[in-house]
Amino acid sequence: MGALTQLLEKYSRPGPRYTSYPTAPYFHTGFGAAQWRAELAAAQDPARGLSLYVHIPFCDTLCYYCGCNMVATGDYHKAERYLEVLEREMDAVAALTHPARQVEQLHYGGGTPTYLKPEDLRRLTAMIRSRFSLAADAEMGCEVDPRELTRAHLEALRADGFNRLSIGVQDLDPTVQRAVNRVQPPELIAEVYGWARELGFASINMDLIVGLPHQTVERFARTLDQVLAWGPDRLAVFAYAHVPWMKKHQKLIREADLPSFTTRLELQQLIHERLAAAGYVNIGMDHFAQPQDELVAAQRSKTLWRNFQGYTTHKDCDIYAFGASSISQTRDVYAQNEKNLKKYMERVAAGELPIERGLRLTPEDHLRRDLILRIMCDLELDFDAFARAWRMDFHTHFADALAELPELAADGLIELSASGFRVTDLGRIFLRNIAMCFDAYLRQESAEARPRYSRTA
């Protein structure tokens, strides 16, 4: 077993992805619509940017591995009705938003946003533009499924100013695709990718998943060969989380067909070796980018940030999220909409803000969120500078975490000194493990009582 594989085995344990801190399992129903309305009214700094997210939950077919909040349906009327409800939710939020605030970032996710017809994609964007002020240079991205996509979908997005795409590839092996009910030959993806390049999308990401049924190192190597030949600007390579107790449709995947733990570790090693050899920079958290990408530049200049949309260069923004299950965020608050589609639509139709649960950060939450984000984004931590910024005694406050760092240093994940530490190139693979040392919520509970997270490797 190789050295990297041994470390992957050692550090593979359930842990958060830290798109928030505290993480979503700690949101609670004591924070609801009234609290979110009050926060919206109070948190209106006209100089602070906005990041808008719209969740489109519909898909044509069910991918058996899917962990998203989605509904597979052939009844397009449901999408038309959903757009009407989205418009009402936007009206309610826009009425509480200072008109001078600029939208710096807009993202459509799902589900499958391109489930919508091209004319309805344009309708959705028009709804947003009529209620919010989009910056001329706004970053506008959309997730796409190549299988039901037409060139007209991409033309509609480009006509409305979208400049980024994320293409769901997952795996190109036919056996794997059949096992997860997502059949999309490489020729189809190549056509969509070609359209996107011709139409001038400035940045194209491709999503891959490891740990799917029937995956082997040899098969996935062929997928990587093809993807690297296309040369997307970014790659997100996620580990499949098999959670049939949460996502009932995952029972359609035979557990006997899933790769063994050893194979999963070998797949992770393959990914990191092949992408590094191809020149991609490991940003962290399974995200890779070409060396000239703005994420790489932001990481080097210590302006990178992380939120529910992953890594971003738009740090000083509040997130206003629309649609079932979507999560909004201000400096002090997280607020999640109803996950159940029917309940979400009923509450909006009744004139309510459809908040199911949320959380207001404590001073300790703020402190630890800042620290964990610095690790995840800057890949280093200066103990003394952090202590000065927060006016606290670092070594006393984080004594339990500091006791864990020497082992990480011995394994080559960090370079540790008396004044701080730097995450090594190897350590980028284990960012979740490093951050977990400073997570107070994990320390407060036994391993059995913790929320169920995906494994870190």
Query: What does the alpha-carbon distance between residue 161 and residue 341 come to, in Å, rounded to a whole number?
Result: 29
- Amino acid letter, 227: V
Instruction: Determine the 3-state secondary structure of 270 from DSSP.
Output: helix
Dihedral sign for Cα 264, 269, 274, 279, please.
positive
Predicted local distance difference test score (pLDDT) of residue 349? 96
Structure tokens belonging to residue 359: 């959380």
Structure tokens belonging to residue 228: 């690297």
Answer for the pair 374, 420: CB distance below 8 angstroms, yes or no: no
Q: What are the residue ranges in the chain where pLDDT is below 50?
A: none
| Angle formed by the axes of helices 261-277 and 3-11, nearest 10° | 120
Instruction: Determine the 3-state secondary structure of 341 from DSSP.
Output: helix
Predicted local distance difference test score (pLDDT) of residue 42? 96
Domains of the chain, each with CATH number or no CATH: 21-360 (3.20.20.70), 363-442 (1.10.10.920)
Predicted local distance difference test score (pLDDT) of residue 450? 65
Query: What does the alpha-carbon distance between residue 270 and residue 82 come to, in Å, rounded to a whole number?
Result: 42
Can you list the pairs that 306-309 forms with residues at least 24 positions away whose Cβ atoms lie under 8 Å?
Answer: 306/18, 306/19, 306/373, 306/376, 306/377, 307/19, 307/20, 307/51, 308/19, 308/20, 308/53, 309/19, 309/51, 309/53, 309/105, 309/107, 309/109
Answer for the pair 265, 12: CB distance below 8 angstroms, yes or no: yes
CB neighbour list of residue 142: distance below 8 Å, 6 or more residues apart: 107, 108, 113, 114, 121, 157, 162, 164, 165, 166
Q: What are phi and psi of 320, to 5 degrees?
A: -110, 115
Predicted local distance difference test score (pLDDT) of residue 148? 87
Predicted local distance difference test score (pLDDT) of residue 455? 75
Query: What does the alpha-carbon distance between residue 308 and residue 299 come to, in Å, rounded to a whole number?
Result: 18
Distance in angstroms between the alpha carbons of the first and the last residue of the chain: 16
Answer for the pair 213, 251: CB distance below 8 angstroms, yes or no: no
The vertex-134 CA angle with 132 and 139, nearest 5°, equals 130
> Which parts of 73-150 fold into alpha helices (H)?
77-94, 118-129
Q: Using CA atoms of 372, 375, 380, 382 in order, give the dihedral in degrees to the nearest 10.
A: -10
